[in-house]
């Protein structure tokens, strides 16, 4: 969190760039973009002190649509890039945007390690349960019987459970949001960015092109029936047994965030040579 | 006793016997006495319980390569030492010190017909309370070389200070017993008395010099993933970056390491990562990202024998192809190579400078030989290269991150600068950084990125050029030392030969090489690869004279100065 937290210096619209998104009409990511701008405005973030980092995929196009600094890197490595940025520039607010393919498949190990490190940043994964940019292949969260050209008849594999993985790996804040409720999503993002340590927000964001069935999500989502817990075991049990459409903040941890060493008073470089001299 | 320009010593033993420690102490004591020296270690793949050899060459001038032959071989024991036979060349004049309790002389020793002398190293060690055989062996080697007990005791006191007085006293007693045992031995060779030094003496490895060069150049963030033989760079940087207000961060793999470095550099902190061939393979995608997004980053590859896992502890120059050609798309970048242990300092500092000034990834190709070898060198001269990237002072709404005007290097906005907000994007982008698939935008930015590297003036540092004559030896990297020694020998014998060793491999410098080859009609290319990668690289980028010969060999056997000299001589006659 940057020092600018309490000041509202921009309206949501000020966080939008002038670039027109390439997303399909009806894509859930439009609403996620809206939620980003609302959350940033609510937090009063300065655009120049905020960086949105992403990988590859439909959701990862989001940085260019915002007026902050952005980095649209290579597939799966957004968390690593954001980690290098945040530990060397702890003054910045760093938000990472990803999708279910980018974040859980090619970037899966970085996800686990980032939760474990608990560096103060927010990770937003727009989950549409399909590779949209490459036209409809199964992702780690795709249902086992979902029929695709790459895997006719379905993969037969149980979906990956990112929220439980995040908990088990040490994430300090776990929430599920739905793109169709942009105000609620913005509120969750505000809480996630404010919470110290690594915050993970899974946003259900329908792909109406390759998963028209996901239009139905708006009828399936419902608010989480109980308030967030700070007990990871309790949170894991709830998440393991819910219907996957439980929306809200599900876990607020109390782990100490990764301590980024403040720059100490630097010694003269010539001092380093002393080790070498006979 | 004959005076000689250089003496080579090998101390061998099974892993854990302490041969490498003895070699390190011997080099340090010789440096205190005023000699120059080079120490390489050769070890098996085991961390414990394998075998190890310290190969040491001492002289009255800087030493950059091993000699042809070992003059003095001290065997603490001979268990499995046969594996090193090919790397430890001995001849009839060599003196071999052997402990009857340490096993039979290995075949490569007995075959050579060398003089052997029995010294009961283990028994002598046992006669000293807490005495260790490696300290006895150190005493034997020191006695044969005529090094002073005082210098060796000083080294023991310094290096074993943390182990306490008891360990120091035991080591000194074992050392003394070894020196006494050596009294009966005669090598028949001695070095001339050391000359007064012109500069402070440093005892350093190439990997340490790489670390220092990085910090001197301005690096304040390093991303680390352990790999042999590059880990020492990272382990040196970890405490020392912290001392200068920087930070080293351990990544979960090399894919993360390079991306962390790019992320830090995007945030304005000059950044580096160090790895070896397998790690470089994993990093290539993101190096292309740094090219496309024009973010400075330095990647050090301490080359080892490949492909695949290869031989992690042995040197080779076979990552040239991946460093030069490994990126997909047209991805201009910088590739440099240090030429000696001391030059690791300069070349790393220069790599940081080039990366920062050109807003480009720079790959530095070091190798296991110069990375892990330790040398007594004169303190290298200070150089002025400090990385300073051009940063933007953007005006709201008008900033173009990738503006073409101004020679291709466009000022970079750093997060925190108001009005400089842009998205660094691996997608083809226009001057503002906005993704595009437009043919013109694509070409304009490709031109920009190539142009800024090609138009830059790299100065005389691009290559080492020595001597003249119609024959040129062209080599690169760690073989420069051996080639220099060969060329100097030939010139002392009246042959006009020149040495050409490019330090800058990419972008290629065709006009400069053309000038360096003026008057040359024969070229001997020397490289440590199986496939002749450097030869093909030269053919691809330069015009060479008609007569070209290639002297190449894969690792781990180093190419010796005498082989290079012989190849030139045979060609002449």
Q: What is the pLDDT of residues B226-237, one digit of tens each?
A: 999 999 999 999
In the beta sheet, which residues pair with residue B53? B12, B42
pLDDT at residue B525 greater than cutoff 90: yes
Domain contains A101: yes
Q: What are phi and psi of B375, to 5 degrees?
A: -135, 150
Q: Among residues of chain A, what percentage have pLDDT more than 70?
A: 95
Q: Among residues of chain B, what percentage have pLDDT more than 90?
A: 87
Q: Mean pLDDT score of chain B, rounded to an integer?
A: 95
- How far A41 CA lies from chain B's nearest CA (Å)? 17
Structural domain boundaries enclosing A266: 12-276
pLDDT at residue A6 greater than cutoff 60: no
Domain contains A248: yes
pLDDT tens digits, A207-227: 999 999 999 999 999 999 999
Given pLDDT bands bounded at 50, 70 and 90, which one contains residue B353? very high
The answer to whether B502 contacts chain A (CB < 8 Å) is no
The answer to whether the CB of B423 falls within 8 A of the CB of A64 is yes
Domain contains A5: no
pLDDT at residue A7 greater than cutoff 50: no
Measure the CA angle with vertex B19, ends B14 and B99; round to 5°: 70
pLDDT tens digits, A232-252: 999 999 999 999 999 999 999
Q: Per the CB < 8 Å rule, is A81 touching B419?
A: no
Range of B240-244, B332-336, B394-398 with top mean pLDDT: B332-336
With CA atoms as reference, the chain B residue closest to A87 would be B264
pLDDT at residue B158 greater than cutoff 90: yes
pLDDT at residue A46 greater than cutoff 60: yes
**Residue B79, pLDDT score:** 85
**Residue A5, pLDDT score:** 46
Burial class (CB in 10 A: 0-12, 13-18, 19+), B190: middle
Domain contains A239: yes
Q: Per the CB < 8 Å rule, is A64 touching B423?
A: yes
* Higher-scoring residue by pLDDT: B239, B80: B239
Domain contains A201: yes
**Residue A4, pLDDT score:** 44
Q: DSSP string of A98-165?
A: EEHHIIIIITHHHHHHHHHHT-SEEEEEEE-SSBTTTTSB--TTS-TT---SSSTT---PPPP-HHHH
Q: Is B103 left (phi over 0), alpha (psi -120 to 50) or beta?
A: left
Domain contains A3: no
The answer to whether B205 contacts chain A (CB < 8 Å) is no
Q: Per the CB < 8 Å rule, is B427 touching A266?
A: no
**Residue B210, pLDDT score:** 98
Q: Per the CB < 8 Å rule, is A87 touching B286?
A: no
Q: Distance (Å, rounded) from C-alpha B147 to C-alpha B141?
A: 9
Domain contains A4: no
* Mean pLDDT for the stretch of residues A35-52: 97
Q: Per the CB < 8 Å rule, is B266 touching A277?
A: no
**Residue B396, pLDDT score:** 59
Q: What is the total count of domains within chain A?
A: 1
* Mean pLDDT for the stretch of residues A33-39: 98
Lowest-pLDDT range of A3-7, B310-314, B545-549: A3-7
pLDDT at residue A261 greater than cutoff 80: no
Given pLDDT bands bounded at 50, 70 and 90, which one contains residue A263? low
- How far A140 CA lies from chain B's nearest CA (Å)? 21
Q: Per the CB < 8 Å rule, is B201 touching A273?
A: no
Helix (H, G, I), strand (E, B) or coil at B497: strand
* Mean pLDDT for the stretch of residues A83-97: 97
**Residue A264, pLDDT score:** 66
Residues of chain A in contact with residue B208, where contact means CB-CB under 8 angstroms, are: 276
Q: Per the CB < 8 Å rule, is A263 touching B266?
A: no
Interacting residues of B506 by C-beta distance below 8 A, sequence separation 6+: B323, B324, B332, B333, B334, B335
pLDDT tens digits, B261-285: 999 999 999 999 999 999 999 999 9
With CA atoms as reference, the chain A residue closest to B292 would be A73
Q: Per the CB < 8 Å rule, is B416 touching A63?
A: no
- How far B538 CA lies from chain A's nearest CA (Å)? 32
**Residue A1, pLDDT score:** 43
pLDDT at residue B505 greater than cutoff 50: yes
A–B interface: beta-carbon pairs under 8 A: 171
* Mean pLDDT for the stretch of residues B477-485: 97
**Residue A277, pLDDT score:** 92
Residues of chain A in contact with residue B263, where contact means CB-CB under 8 angstroms, are: 53, 71, 80-86, 88
With CA atoms as reference, the chain B residue closest to A45 would be B416
pLDDT at residue A120 greater than cutoff 70: yes
Given pLDDT bands bounded at 50, 70 and 90, which one contains residue A2? very low
Q: Which two tokens stand for residue B230?
A: 């590059």
Domain contains A106: yes
Residue A120's domain is classified under what CATH number? 3.40.50.970
Residues of chain A in contact with residue B256, where contact means CB-CB under 8 angstroms, are: 77, 80, 83, 110, 113
């Amino acid at each position: 969190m940057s020092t600018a937290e309490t000041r509202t210096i921009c309206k949501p619209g000020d966080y939008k760039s002038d670039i027109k998104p390439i997303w399909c009409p009806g894509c859930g990511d439009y609403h996620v973009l809206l939620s980003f701008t609302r959350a940033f405005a609510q937090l009063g973030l300065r655009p120049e002190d905020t960086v949105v980092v992403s990988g590859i995929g439909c959701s990862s196009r989001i940085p260019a649509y915002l007026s902050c600094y952005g980095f649209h890197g290579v597939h799966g490595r957004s968390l690593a890039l954001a980690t290098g940025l945040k530990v060397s520039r702890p003054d910045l607010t760093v938000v990472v945007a990803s999708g279910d393919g980018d974040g859980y498949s090619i970037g899966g190990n970085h996800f686990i390690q980032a939760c474990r490190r608990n560096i103060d940043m927010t990770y937003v994964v727009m989950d549409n349960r399909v590779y949209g940019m490459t036209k409809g292949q199964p992702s780690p969260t795709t249902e086992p019987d979902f029929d695709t050209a790459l895997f006719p008849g379905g993969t037969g594999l149980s979906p990956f459970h990112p929220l439980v993985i995040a908990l088990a790996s040490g994430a300090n804040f776990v929430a599920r949001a739905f793109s169709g409720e942009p105000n609620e999503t913005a509120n969750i993002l505000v809480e996630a960015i404010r919470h110290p340590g690594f915050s993970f927000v899974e946003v259900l964001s329908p792909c109406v092109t390759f998963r028209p069935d996901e239009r139905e999500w708006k009828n399936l989502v419902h608010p989480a029936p109980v308030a967030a817990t700070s007990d990871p075991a309790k949170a894991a049990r709830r998440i393991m047994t819910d219907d996957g459409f439980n929306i809200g903040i599900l876990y607020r941890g109390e782990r100490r965030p990764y301590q980024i060493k403040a720059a100490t008073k630097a010694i003269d470089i010539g001092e380093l040579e002393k080790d070498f001299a006979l | 006793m004959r005076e000689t320009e250089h003496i080579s010593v090998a101390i061998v033993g099974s892993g854990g016997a302490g041969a490498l420690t003895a070699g390190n102490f011997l080099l340090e004591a010789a440096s205190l006495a005023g000699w120059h020296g080079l120490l390489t270690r050769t070890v098996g793949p085991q961390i414990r319980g394998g075998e190890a050899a310290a190969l040491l060459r001492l002289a009255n001038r800087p030493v950059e390569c091993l000699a042809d032959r070992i003059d003095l071989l001290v065997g603490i024991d001979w268990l499995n030492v046969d594996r090193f036979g090919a790397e430890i060349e001995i001849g009839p004049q060599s003196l071999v010190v052997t402990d009857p309790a340490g096993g039979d002389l290995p075949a490569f020793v007995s075959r050579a017909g060398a003089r052997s002398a029995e010294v009961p190293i283990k028994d002598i060690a046992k006669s000293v309370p807490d005495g260790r055989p490696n300290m006895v062996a150190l005493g034997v080697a020191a006695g044969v070389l005529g090094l002073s007990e005082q210098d060796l005791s000083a080294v023991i006191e310094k290096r074993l200070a943390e182990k306490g007085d008891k360990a120091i006293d035991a080591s000194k007693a074992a050392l003394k017993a070894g020196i006494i045992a050596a009294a009966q031995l005669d090598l028949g060779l001695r070095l001339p008395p050391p000359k007064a030094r012109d500069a402070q003496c440093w005892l350093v490895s190439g990997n340490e010099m790489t670390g220092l060069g990085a910090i001197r150049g301005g690096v304040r963030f390093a991303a680390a993933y352990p790999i042999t033989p590059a880990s020492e760079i990272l382990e040196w940087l970890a405490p020392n970056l912290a001392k200068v207000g920087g930070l080293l961060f351990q990544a979960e793999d090399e894919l993360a390491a390079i991306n962390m470095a790019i992320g830090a550099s995007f945030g304005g902190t000059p950044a580096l990562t160090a790895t070896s061939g397998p790690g470089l393979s994993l990093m290539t995608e993101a190096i292309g990202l740094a090219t496309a997004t024009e973010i400075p980053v330095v990647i050090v590859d301490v080359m080892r024998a490949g492909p695949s896992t290869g031989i992690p502890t042995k040197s080779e120059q076979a990552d040239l192809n991946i460093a030069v050609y490994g990126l997909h798309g047209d991805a201009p970048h910088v590739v440099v190579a240090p030429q000696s242990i001391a030059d690791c300092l300069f070349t790393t500092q220069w790599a940081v400078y080039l990366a920062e000034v050109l807003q480009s990834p720079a790959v530095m190709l070091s190798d296991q030989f110069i990375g892990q070898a330790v040398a007594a060198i004169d303190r290298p001269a200070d150089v002025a290269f400090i990385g300073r990237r051009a940063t933007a002072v953007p005006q709201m709404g008008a900033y173009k991150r990738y503006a073409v005007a101004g020679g291709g290097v466009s000022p970079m906005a750093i997060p925190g600068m108001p009005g400089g907000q842009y998205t660094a994007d691996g997608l083809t982008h226009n001057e503002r950084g906005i993704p595009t698939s437009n043919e013109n935008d694509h070409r304009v930015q490709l031109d920009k990125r190539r142009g800024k590297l090609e138009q830059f003036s790299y100065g005389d540092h691009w290559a080492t050029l020595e001597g003249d004559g119609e024959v040129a030896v062209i080599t690169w990297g760690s073989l420069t030392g051996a080639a220099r020694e060969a060329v100097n020998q030939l010139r002392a014998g009246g042959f006009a030969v020149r040495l050409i060793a490019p330090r800058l491999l990419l972008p290629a410098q065709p006009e400069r090489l053309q000038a360096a080859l003026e008057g040359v009609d024969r070229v001997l290319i020397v490289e440590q690869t199986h496939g002749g990668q450097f030869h093909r690289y030269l053919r691809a980028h330069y015009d060479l004279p008609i007569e070209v010969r290639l002297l190449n060999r894969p690792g781990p056997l180093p190419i010796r100065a005498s082989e290079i000299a012989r190849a030139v001589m045979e060609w002449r006659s």
